[in-house]
Structure 1
Amino acid sequence: MDSPREILKRHGLRAKHSWGQNFLGDPDALQAIADALVLREGEPVVELGPGLGHLTRFLAATGAQVTAVERDRDMVAVLEKEAIPGVRVVPGNAATVDFAQVAGAPDIALVGNLPYHLTSPILFQVLAQRAHISRAVFTLQKEVVVRLAAEPGNRDYGLLTVLLGLHFDVEQVLTLEAWRFHPPPKVDSAVLRLTRLKKPRAPLVDEARFTRLVKAGFAQRRKTLINSLKSDKGLATPEVMLAALKTAGIDPGRRAETLAPEEFAAIERALGPVTAMAPPPPDAPEEAVGHDAEE
């Protein structure tokens, strides 16, 4: 198999810095990523951002039905010219695509070497579409994988750690040094595996309220839990929120990073039936977990 440098040269292309393109061509690493997904013959798998098709070849070698979703027109042209057997190439944006629909299957596996600046949007899509995703294996910036796999009480623990942890087993399976990529990024990467649970770790009254509750908890990490949660007045009055914490058995003086997903779920349930909520405050954005490693 030709190296990324050789394939780019053959097609008269260069890696696009603005797209966060860092191509992995190391055979041992690619085989390890494909192995981590544990694909069965004939199983539908969607690869996000296949780039030059290096991982795509290893996925196809398992006998799985590979749908490669690529937004870079130059890379789409490369994949079509390379014509990897058993692979269907679909132009599209990994941050907005319907994974099951593009694969034409109700339940799929998902894999990709994700551009760092698209990490958060894609992970929120995984959460939104989790009913159709049995498992996912992503290559991400190492510090992001450490955060997503962190345990409660760790300073790396955050919003997406909780949201993913409610619905998936989350684990780091591999570290990939920067030199394995072309061009090499300025940081190391790691491989994250998400395995969907048969049911959430804890029941909820309302998924949207749970997400908003967790966002509020982490919006001001240095504050106590009750003070962070009170910052989103649309969730509940301070009195109702304090009562919910008491019902859930959660000390209001704790900080969000110490709560397991099950504890956040207990608070959400304790808030009772859902009523119309005011829009969240503008200072409670979705957590960004990745950035372009070349910046």
Structure 2
Amino acid sequence: MTKTLPWADKNLGQHFLRSQNVIDSITNDFKEEAQAIIEVGPGPGILTEFLAKHELPFFVIEKDKRFPEYLEQFIPSEAITLSDALEIHLEDFFEQKEINNKDIWLVSNLPYNVSVPLLISFIKAPQIKYMTLMFQREVADKVISFMNPKKNKSMGSLLVLSQTYFDVSVLCQAPPGAFQPPPKVDSTVVSFKRRENPVIALSEFKQFESFLRKLFQFKRKQLGSVLKSHYSPEKLADAFEKSGVLRTDRAESFSLEIIQNLYKELR
């Protein structure tokens, strides 16, 4: 892209996408399914320009006060919320914007330092049916199972939460040269489509997340040692037997199904 861009704020983890192929992949991902679009962290509007062309209800949330003047080239000022996305209660925001009854597509190039808490907040919002999110490769490896064939023990809480509530797939890769300025790491764009009937109901999200924190706090330790301070010996023994796991197993090697079954036996 040849357009002049503002300087990138390193404190906010800003790297502006300039690869038209990656831009096209992201902004066309769920254009046929979505009924409304939210973009988090649009920056100077690199994706916004193309997302706005879908002519759907469209709102952006941006923290950097420099960017509304850029964004207003593509969307009206009332569609811009100048705020930290982590401080916004998304379900209230959707209701305020009168899109809480629509299938929302959320798009974001997630800053590395807040990508995990933002992803968790997105997962918890039931109105978000689709997501197209760009992560640094290190974080994407925690969302997509076994992306790195050299790692055969990639299971963790972020992967479990993502794939319990969404069908997840890699949309495309974004090397450093796809950005201005180029970051020092590769990035991955991931597509999420919400599961209609997840094995663990979204209403149990808080309880399930708490269980996963216990399970993966010491994921290389034996399961019996990790969980013994949280559950009675009798309850653990029964849950292990019904889930087909051993006290000596380690959580990092479990499948998604085993973890879900173990949670259901222990809840």
Class of the TM-score when normalised by the shorter of the 2 chains: 0.7 to 0.9
SS at match of 1:155: coil
Please tell me whether residue 128 in structure 1 is matched to residue 124 in structure 2: yes
User: CA 1:39/1:93 → structure 2, altered by over 3 Å: closer, same or farther?
Assistant: farther
Structure 1 unaligned blocks of 5 or more: 9-13, 273-295
- Give the equivalent residue in structure 1 for 2:47: 55
Q: Residue 127 of structure 1 contacts residue 164 of structure 1 at CA under 8 Å; is this kept in 2?
A: yes
For residue 174 of structure 1, what is the amino acid of its counterpart? C
Letter of the 1:23 partner, please give it: F
Checking the alignment, whether the CA contact within 8 Å between 1:140 and 1:190 is kept in structure 2 is: yes
Task: Tell me the distance in 1 between the aligned counterparts of 2:20 and 2:76.
Answer: 18
The alignment's TM-score, normalised by the length of structure 2, stands at 0.87
Contact 2:49 2:74 in 1 (8 A): no
The SS at the match of 2:154 is coil
Aligned counterpart, 1:282: none
Q: Distance in 1 between matches of 2:64 and 2:15?
A: 13
Q: How many residues align structurally?
A: 259
In the TM superposition, residue 205 of structure 1 has moved relative to its aligned partner by 9.6
Task: Quote the residue 1:20 is aligned against.
Answer: 13
CA contact (8 A) 2:155 2:255 kept: no
SS of equivalent to 2:8: coil
Q: Cα 1:188–1:205, aligned 2, differ >3 Å: closer, same or farther?
A: closer
Which has the higher mean CA deviation after the structures are superposed, 151-160 or 100-109? 151-160
- Give aligned-pair identity as a percent: 29
Question: Is 1:104 aligned to 2:98, yes or no?
Answer: yes
Residues 146 and 38 of structure 1: CA distance in aligned 2, closer, same or farther (over 3 Å)? farther
Aligned partners of 1:148 and 1:160 also within 8 Å: yes
Cα offset for 1:166? 1.0
- Partner secondary structure for residue 228 of structure 1: helix
Gaps of 5+ in 2: none
Secondary structure at the aligned position of 1:36 is classed as coil
* Aligned with 2:177 (options 168, 176, 179): 179
- List structure 1 runs of 4+ shifted beyond 6 angstroms: none
CA RMSD of aligned residues (A): 2.5
Partner of 2:36: 44
Deviations 1:25-80 (Å, cap 9, x if unpaired)? 22221111112233458x21100000010100111122222211101111234323
Q: Deviations over 1:113-146 (max 9, x none)?
A: 11110101101101221x1111101011012212
Hey, what's the Cα distance between the residues in 2 that align with 1:60 and 1:205?
33
Contact 2:68 2:77 in 1 (8 A): no
Contact 1:48 1:94 in 2 (8 A): yes
TM-score computed with the length of structure 1 as normaliser: 0.80
Q: Distance in 1 between matches of 2:202 and 2:64?
A: 39
The aligned amino acid for 1:17 is K
Which residue number in structure 1 is paired with residue 252 of structure 2? 257
- Contact residue 173 and residue 192 of structure 1 kept, 8 A: yes
Distance 1:116 1:178 in 2: 14
